[in-house]
Chain A
């Protein structure tokens, strides 16, 4: 398995998802248990954290490594950053539902300016504490305890026009939200034109009910009971439709699979349970050609895409 990653020609930086399928065994999920260890403050705070973390943590963390790959390589693809050692240098990212900063920190270490937001202030507090010791992170990662709607409203007040962020990450968030339209609208508002949105979530299928709720919550009790509401799961097709009606163009959808025997996550063809989605905010170009408009119209139709 070759790990020499050359940030070279544009050709070598095009779609990485296929590559990771073959390197699937790279992904280890042990990392999240130790990360949890590091984030543990003292017992009292830990219990509070644990409750909020169990809301976000299992879901947030499990995809961590995959996400860092996904973001780093898709972002590189689009923005062409060229700093070996800091491949995301110069990019502004928003991590929605950041929890304890489990995803914000690696993204910050790779050079991006990350703003992590989460409504649970204890999570934010832990995240800030954890980042405060590391001089590399102090400058690149910041946190706020607020919701996406609140942040979006502030943006609107400050200035008209397009948003600030090059990319938004919403990892294991959309399956907990009641109002996805608002979410999509706010994301669109916060993003620069051409900016990327990365979502990972759980599909609404019988299989995800069986594994995600029955097995994970009730049988194995990997996640506390009541964490997920199957009704709130969303299928990739639905999500795609929702995003495209809010000015996004979905670039790729990829399934993810957890192997309990090896404890590893990998990319997979089936989006039956977990999946990741990458969408790009369409630029408001008045000179949009008719062909693109037709494609946009077709996407709004109810015919599901494969």
Chain B
């Protein structure tokens, strides 16, 4: 069988020889940092969950809902562990909360499928039809919209509302899915890939309360500082951007249709205004730590002035860039006269919501592996991105959809849910999708972090050219909405 396994893997070129490694030598296992299993006593006879999800945020809760509602997983025991309190929202609060996410079409269809989207639409969400992104250092701009402006591109939803909607849906699934709130995990014990005679083959989760749970599959959805990922010893590529994001709720000067998402790339970082309602928008201003602190320290009026001037003033543009930009635009419109879109200006801001100014640091992170024996990572635990593209939540929901589909199929084939081959499929599929997206976001961030002329020229031309190619823009939108 050694040879069979090697032949099979070699033939279909799996670079990841983990399966043969795990079987062949203990040294390889240790290298991957697996903790040795403790010898269980009669652990085999107590209750074993089929899936435990660690982390009840947007992505973890969506995973729990999604598994609980799948027909092939009926009868499986699913548990969601959340360290915080249960988020119930009987009445939507009058004020908007500062943490919002852009929910794309792929995520909307996942949430509709699990019945959470109807709660969200009843509570509060704002669709937007167009996105305008432009540069502070030049005239270049790009707009994204659907063919007829009737269709929404995406929705801006407050994170609290998403979690509350998912919690409500989970309440209705209490036959299959159990949720334990205020349960903090203090220890994970991983099983050996080889089943030894007297060791427990399941993942053991020890809570702060002393309770120990066992599961066939552990899904880590515990955020960018994931304990699951750390305990598994999965190497993570990460760096801190020297940036923090300042978020706030903005009151607009006058009511407007407000169905456009605005983002301007300043040399210090992008500033974005996302619509929440006809009179309010959400601010996400990514800038250096020092500037972010300064912004937080400003009084309301000065802060509002800073926002307006960030969107409106043109002092960063140099003559050279302006000339080059308009030349290029002229050349392009000679070739494609009908392409391009008119520049619009964002609405002006009059005030900010009380006590809504917050800042948090930004970074990039990617786990080199999403899975291990009987464990999988989803959401920010696996990948963390810059908010400039509004893709963080969507990538997480994409993980949920993919893993649910694969687990459902595995259950339909009578497979053990923690078996590695469908976890490998999940990892391959999602890494193939996530890595290009993350690379693109990181590239954008770096490209727009400077105002040196060559970089500005490059991005100016690039942006203008892309703006004139509707086919390319459609491809970009399609990729982002998967």
**Is B411 positioned at the interface, with any CB of A under 8 Å from its CB?**
yes
Per the bound structure, the CA–CA distance linking A102 and B481 in Å amounts to 40
Count of B residues near A, CB < 8 Å?
Answer: 47
**Contacting A30 at CB < 8 Å: which of B48, B216, B416, B421?**
B421
What residues on A are CB-neighbors of B412 within 8 Å? 3, 5, 87
B74 touches A134 (CB 8 A): no
**Contacting A109 at CB < 8 Å: which of B3, B193, B415?**
B415
**Is B239 positioned at the interface, with any CB of A under 8 Å from its CB?**
no
**Is A228 positioned at the interface, with any CB of B under 8 Å from its CB?**
no
A34 touches B1 (CB 8 A): no
What residues on B are CB-neighbors of A134 within 8 Å? 48, 216, 416
B193 touches A108 (CB 8 A): no
Closest B residue to A221 using CB positions: B3
**Is A214 positioned at the interface, with any CB of B under 8 Å from its CB?**
no
A37 touches B44 (CB 8 A): no
What residues on B are CB-neighbors of A129 within 8 Å? 195, 197
Closest A residue to B202 using CB positions: A133
**Is A41 positioned at the interface, with any CB of B under 8 Å from its CB?**
yes
A263 touches B9 (CB 8 A): yes
Binds B, one of A52-60, A177-185, A232-240, A287-295: A52-60
What residues on B are CB-neighbors of A40 within 8 Å? 23, 194-195
List A residues 81-132 near B (Cβ within 8 Å): 84-87, 105-110, 129-130, 132
Per the bound structure, the CA–CA distance linking A84 and B69 in Å amounts to 12
A84 touches B12 (CB 8 A): no
What residues on A are CB-neighbors of B201 within 8 Å? 38, 133
B195 touches A85 (CB 8 A): no
List A residues 124-170 near B (Cβ within 8 Å): 129-130, 132-136
Contact with A along B168-202 (1 / 0, CB 8 A): 00000000000000000000000001111100111
Task: Indicate the size class of the contact surface on chain A.
Answer: 35 or more
**Is B449 positioned at the interface, with any CB of A under 8 Å from its CB?**
no
B414 touches A110 (CB 8 A): yes
**Contacts A31-B421, A85-B72, A135-B45 given; does A36 touch B415 at CB 8 Å:** no
A106 touches B414 (CB 8 A): yes
A37 touches B414 (CB 8 A): no
What residues on A are CB-neighbors of B9 within 8 Å? 30, 33, 263
**Contacting B23 at CB < 8 Å: which of A36, A86, A221?**
A36
Per the bound structure, the CA–CA distance linking A36 and B195 in Å amounts to 10
Per the bound structure, the CA–CA distance linking A136 and B411 in Å amounts to 13
**Contacts A30-B424, A31-B421, A37-B193 given; does A109 touch B1 at CB 8 Å:** no
Shortest CB distance A167–B (Å): 14
Shortest CB distance B406–A (Å): 9
A30 touches B3 (CB 8 A): no
Shortest CB distance A107–B (Å): 6
B414 touches A220 (CB 8 A): no
**Contacts A31-B419, A261-B11 given; does A3 touch B413 at CB 8 Å:** no
Per the bound structure, the CA–CA distance linking A133 and B22 in Å amounts to 21
Per the bound structure, the CA–CA distance linking A40 and B22 in Å amounts to 11
Closest B residue to A132 using CB positions: B44
**Contacting B8 at CB < 8 Å: which of A86, A87, A260?**
A260
**Contacting A220 at CB < 8 Å: which of B7, B20, B44, B408?**
B7
Per the bound structure, the CA–CA distance linking A68 and B72 in Å amounts to 15
A38 touches B413 (CB 8 A): no
**Is B76 positioned at the interface, with any CB of A under 8 Å from its CB?**
yes
A222 touches B44 (CB 8 A): no
A84 touches B23 (CB 8 A): no
What residues on B are CB-neighbors of A277 within 8 Å? none
Per the bound structure, the CA–CA distance linking A217 and B321 in Å amounts to 70
**Contacting B197 at CB < 8 Å: which of A41, A106, A264?**
A41
Contact with A along B64-84 (1 / 0, CB 8 A): 000000011111100000000
Shortest CB distance A22–B (Å): 16
**Is A276 positioned at the interface, with any CB of B under 8 Å from its CB?**
no
What residues on A are CB-neighbors of B123 within 8 Å? none
**Contacts A33-B1, A34-B421, A85-B71 given; does A222 touch B7 at CB 8 Å:** yes
Given A28-B425, A31-B419, A260-B7, 9 additional A-B pairs, CB 8 A: A30-B14, A31-B421, A33-B1, A33-B19, A34-B421, A53-B1, A87-B412, A223-B4, A260-B8
Q: List residues of A whose CB falls within 8 A of some B CB.
A: 3, 5, 26, 28-31, 33-42, 45, 50, 53-54, 57-58, 65, 68-69, 72, 84-87, 105-110, 129-130, 132-136, 220-223, 260-264
What are 17 sample pairs from A and B whose C-beta atoms fall under 8 A apart? Answer: A31-B415, A33-B23, A34-B421, A36-B1, A37-B23, A38-B416, A41-B195, A42-B196, A58-B1, A109-B415, A109-B416, A134-B416, A221-B3, A222-B3, A222-B7, A260-B7, A262-B11
The 6 closest A-B pairs by CB, nearest first: A106-B414, A85-B74, A33-B5, A85-B75, A109-B414, A263-B12
